[in-house]
Amino acid sequence: MFRIPLILAAALFAASSVPETSAQTTDLRAIFSAPITVERTEPVAVIPVEQTLGKLYIEAVVNGTEGRFIFDTGSPTIVSRAFAESLDLEVVGQNTGVDANGNAVTMDIAIARTIALGSTVFRDVPVLIHDFSGLTLGSCFIRDGVIGSEIFPGSAWRIDLERSEISLAASRESLGGDAPWLEARLYDFGYPHAPIVDYVVADISDKALFDTGSDEVVVLFAEVAANASVRAAMNAETVSRGRGTEGESAGGRGAIVDIHRFTLDEFAVGETAAGPRSGTTRSVPPSLIGARWLETDIVTLDYPGNAFLLEARSEPEAGRQRGGYSIAYSDGHGEVVQLFDNSPAAASGLQLGDHVVEISGHSLVPSSDAEACDIATWLAEGFEPVEAADLVIERDGERIPVHVPRREP
């Protein structure tokens, strides 16, 4: 079976990228590799989790100060510059890595004395510091930062969106729950200890990152998706091709690239068949198993037992239908950031990069920063591109009405 090497450096910040000048004053590699102490006052800590805006949000207490964070299994822990200053964190160095879009990003590094999730406390946690205000909507969607994967070792983590909670304990046996229908090996390749699993599609055997920061089910690295056997495993009636950005990450919005959507008739995690599954592509490795998997399953990351487990939800959510275009807020207006061939939107004359000032009477031109956040939230949560919409776009200094019919299943 053909095997594609996993290149984690394209998606995760690696300690090996520490600049030499920083390493001369502080041994950052030692900081990244030092074990994090875990203290439990109860056998199981249960923390509420909210799924909104395509992300998972939790409350955490860092150095005694409570904050609201994105829970992202595909990222190290990152605190916002403003939150870090309120904690008076001491910077011990810098690290340059790449974000999810392959953009180079340099961040300061500090040590959080404590990070508390419910009744569980993690001590001496290396954290990155980033100014999210430089992102288009960083202040809207990322308040205090991201709780990431370097705290995962030593615990079993059960992510249950049906009950809107994350449970963690010293072992998976303490977490309870029903018997899993899938169990696969969980790999930990060192800092930032991201959860990695084997997957198989057609003739390809590879490794994927379980990434709650991805609002998808399966995301295949483009070179995997281009393999002839993988293309043959895609249901031909579900394949759509388009172009656009793959989203915004720490280094900003990604470049315009080719994007494909499809349903995989064949897909396995570990040695267990788990298809059919909807999927899309990304231009940088690795492939991802995304947060949309949590709509049908409860996921347990058993780090002490080196196991990735799926437990069926009693009431799975219905899969979403995808529209043929996407609009995101950008610099005082909406912008068409993805457009798929042979879609009603493309047939209506919509173009990638069009500025959108109105959707069915809903203005996308804000009068304040707070209103800009409201517009961005509405685009992410309220706007359904699969439904019919009357758009007003600005192109070459002219306002043009565009009617986009409903996209039929």
- Condensed to tens digits (0 to 9), the pLDDT of residues 66-90 reads 999 999 999 999 999 999 999 988 8
**Does the bond joining 286 to the residue before it have cis omega, within 30 degrees of 0?**
yes
Considering the domain boundaries, does residue 141 fall inside one? yes
> What pTM did the predictor assign?
0.90
Domain for residue 146, yes or no? yes
The predicted structure's pLDDT at residue 30: 87
Whole-number pLDDT of residue 164: 98
Residue 408: per-residue pLDDT? 83
What is the C-alpha separation between 230 and 238, in angstroms, rounded? 14
Domain boundary among 312, 343, 376: 312
What integer pLDDT is reported at residue 285 of this predicted model? 94
Bridge partners of residue 128, in order along the sequence: 78, 109
Same domain, 266 and 378: no
Are 293 and 344 in a shared domain? no
Of the residues 263, 281, 312, which one is the last residue of a structural domain?
Answer: 312
Q: How far apart are the first and last CA of the chain?
A: 35
pLDDT at 163: 97
**Residue 378 region, left (φ>0) first, then alpha (ψ -120 to 50), else beta?**
alpha
Alpha-carbon gap, residue 119 to 131, rounded angstroms: 29
Asked whether residue 409 is domain-assigned, the answer is no
> What is the structure's pLDDT at 104?
77
What is the token pair recorded at 219? Answer: 């995301």
Give dist(CA 176, CA 44) in Å, integer: 10
Please report, for the domain that includes residue 114, its CATH number.
Answer: 2.40.70.10
Tell me if 276 is assigned to some domain.
yes
- CA dihedral angle for residue 239, residue 242, residue 244, residue 245, rounded to 10 degrees: 20
Domain harbouring 360, CATH code: 2.30.42.10
Q: Are residues 24 and 139 in the same domain?
A: yes
> Do residue 12 and residue 133 come from a single domain?
yes
pLDDT given for residue 252 in this prediction: 56
CA distance 322 to 356: 19
Q: In angstroms, rounded to a whole number, what is the distance separating the alpha carbons of residues 37 and 39?
A: 7
Q: Which domain holds residue 342?
A: 325-404
The total number of structural domains in the chain stands at 3
Q: How far is residue 81 from each of residues 141, 143, 290, measured CA to CA in Å?
A: 15, 10, 27
Q: What is the dihedral of CA 13, 19, 25, 28, to 10 degrees?
A: 20
Shared domain for 113 and 249, answered yes or no, is no
Residues of the chain falling short of pLDDT 70 = 1-26, 99-102, 135-138, 247-254
Q: How far is CA 187 from CA 135, 201, 304, 306, in A?
A: 32, 19, 11, 7
- Whether residues 176 and 144 share a domain: the answer is no
Residue 320, in any domain of the structure? no
Q: Do 126 and 253 fall into the same domain?
A: no
pLDDT at 24: 37
Examine residue 166 and state whether it is found in any structural domain, yes or no: no
Q: Of 207, 223, 202, 365, nearest to 283 (Cα)?
A: 223
